[in-house]
Amino acid sequence: MNQTVSQASSLRGTPALPADKSISHRAALLSALADGRSRIRNFPDSADPQSTLACVRQLGARAKRDENGTMVVRGGGLEGLRPPSQPLDCGNSGTTMRLLAGILAGQPFGSVLTGDESLQQRPMDRIADPLNAMGGRVSLVDGHAPIRIRAPESGLRSMDYRLPVASAQVKSCVLLAGLFAEGTTEVIEPAPARDHTERMLDLPIQEVGGDRHILVEGGTSVEPQTWSVPGDFSGAAFLIVAATLVPDSEITLENVGLNPSRTALLDVLRGMGADLTVSNERVEGGEPIGDIVVRSADLEAVEVGGRAIPNLIDEIPVIAVAAACAEGTSEIRDAEELRVKETDRLHAITENLRALGAEVEEHEDGLTIEGRGPNLLGTDVDSFGDHRIAMAMGVAGLVAHGETTIHDAGCARVSFPGFWEELDGLIEEDG
Ligand code: S3P
């Protein structure tokens, strides 16, 4: 599906956000490991969390929506998973594959995890190495999926593991494997990545010399409970930047997840001059949430890098669009992880912003972007099959002169199924 977006003169409204993808995956997995019936309020139809749900069903959990739309999942406890009769298809979802591998490495049965073409090109040694060091029997094809997991010979052993990459997926994989290991597993995190897994499992955390040490005791049972999934901050990010860039705009985003390990974008945009007001802050289901009002503002260039990157990892494509419309030269560094996402995002952003007339220099770990003010020119761009590239280009299309056509734009459904409709609904007609 191609999507054409025209330059907009104003955005107004209160768009509906999808439920948070990261929290939804974890709620589905933890519900499958709990003994009894859990409820997940606001579980989304986005393709990635649906991949996780399909996999836990194949592993014996029962899941269906009740009459109020709540997803009800019946799990069989830590020892209640059943051997899957077929390979587990993780679709486009790295989170499904990496977190599920942590759970499956400790099972007394074998399994195979596979996914789409993009997922089969993403690095999986980052999870196979620690799982095998715990006594797992995880094999890859040239560092990639399909992942073949055999039952460990004599159960998993706990370990202390210092993460070599700042990745919430790797951290969560090892922590989930730790539930099935003998003893206490400790994950040491040099730069903080999103903390939903440790929050949802209520794991003890120690701060030692600037590092976070997260501890999980083997055999800790997961209680069946009601999870409430907030609005997805990373989905909101596209609309926040859109309303900032399009003149004469004011939008309100309600019930957005505001977990501090996810919201560094707000600081970055405020540093660039954005007009953002957060209100109605509260905690629901262990996660901070609130409302965000966004009004248009002129932006100045920004420098992002270092320890902030894991907190911004999914927002960098849209930060790049903001930078292309800001005054001055922006720098994004230390972001080499973007090369191993659903596509090589540094390459995809460079190609697309250049097509729109921006001056972009590509580095191994980032981008230098010459801001053009509101001078992008609409043209044809490509999603590269990546939902976040598609949506970032949708935002660029709202500010670029004329029309921008995003090829293969349907992949937005991976995390934000109603994105194009919501964007369209915000556009105020001239006059
Ligand atoms: C996610 C972690 C991030 C992020 C992804 C979701 C998660 O990946 O990019 O969209 O839910 O744990 P990494 O942890 O690999 O950086």
Task: Give the CA dihedral 349, 233, 401, 11, nearest 10 degrees.
Answer: 180
Query: 137-141 and 62-65 as β-strands: parallel, antiparallel, unpaired?
Result: unpaired
CA of 308 to the centre of ligand 1 (A): 14
Q: Looking at ligand 1, which atom is closest to the CA of residue 22?
A: 11
Ordered strands of the 88-89 beta sheet: 88-89, 111-114, 144-150, 137-141
**What average pLDDT does range 61-80 have in this prediction?**
98
Per-residue model confidence (pLDDT) at position 308? 96
Q: Looking at ligand 1, which atom is closest to the CA of residue 99?
A: 12
CA of 70 to the centre of ligand 1 (A): 25
Q: Looking at ligand 1, which atom is closest to the CA of residue 172?
A: 12
Tell me if residue 129 is catalytic: no
CA of 15 to the centre of ligand 1 (A): 24
Q: Looking at ligand 1, which atom is closest to the CA of residue 168?
A: 14
Q: How confident is the model at residue 313 (pLDDT cuts 50, 70, 90)?
A: very high
Report whether residue 22 contacts ligand 1, using a CB cutoff of 6 Å. Answer: yes
CB distance 294 to 239 below 8 Å: yes
Report whether residue 48 contacts ligand 1, using a CB cutoff of 6 Å. Answer: no
Distance CA 408, CA 389 (A): 10
β-bridge mates for residue 35, sequence order: 76
Distance CA 383, CA 2 (A): 10
Report whether residue 24 contacts ligand 1, using a CB cutoff of 6 Å. Answer: no
pTM of the predicted protein model: 0.98
Per-residue model confidence (pLDDT) at position 184? 98
Q: How confident is the model at residue 285 (pLDDT cuts 50, 70, 90)?
A: confident
Q: How confident is the model at residue 429 (pLDDT cuts 50, 70, 90)?
A: confident
**What average pLDDT does range 307-336 have in this prediction?**
98
pLDDT at 431 > cutoff 70:
no
Task: Give the CA dihedral 350, 351, 352, 356, nearest 10 degrees.
Answer: 90
Report whether residue 167 contacts ligand 1, using a CB cutoff of 6 Å. Answer: yes
CA of 167 to the centre of ligand 1 (A): 6
Residue range 94-151, pLDDT digits in tens: 999 999 999 999 999 999 999 999 999 999 999 999 999 999 999 999 999 999 999 9
CB distance 400 to 376 below 8 Å: yes
SS3 state of residue 84:
coil
**What average pLDDT does range 339-365 have in this prediction?**
98
pLDDT at 347 > cutoff 60:
yes
The beta-strand segments (E) located in 231-270 are 250-257
β-bridge mates for residue 74, sequence order: 37, 62
Which domains, from first to last, does the chain contain? 3-19+231-426 (3.65.10.10), 21-227 (3.65.10.10)
Q: Looking at ligand 1, which atom is closest to the CA of residue 341?
A: 9
Amino acid 241 reads V
Distance CA 273, CA 43 (A): 34
CA of 153 to the centre of ligand 1 (A): 30
Cis peptide before 49 (omega within 30 of 0): no
Q: What share of the chain is helix, strand, coil (3-state, %, to 5)?
A: 35, 30, 35
CA of 196 to the centre of ligand 1 (A): 11
* Percent with pLDDT over 70 in the chain: 100
CB distance 366 to 335 below 8 Å: yes
Among candidate residues 291, 314, 344, 382, the one labeled active-site is: 314
SS3 state of residue 80:
coil
CB distance 331 to 304 below 8 Å: yes
Instruction: For ligand 1, pick from 99, 165, 167 the residue to mutate: most ligand atoms within 8 Å of CB.
Output: 167
Per-residue model confidence (pLDDT) at position 417? 98
Report whether residue 330 contacts ligand 1, using a CB cutoff of 6 Å. Answer: no
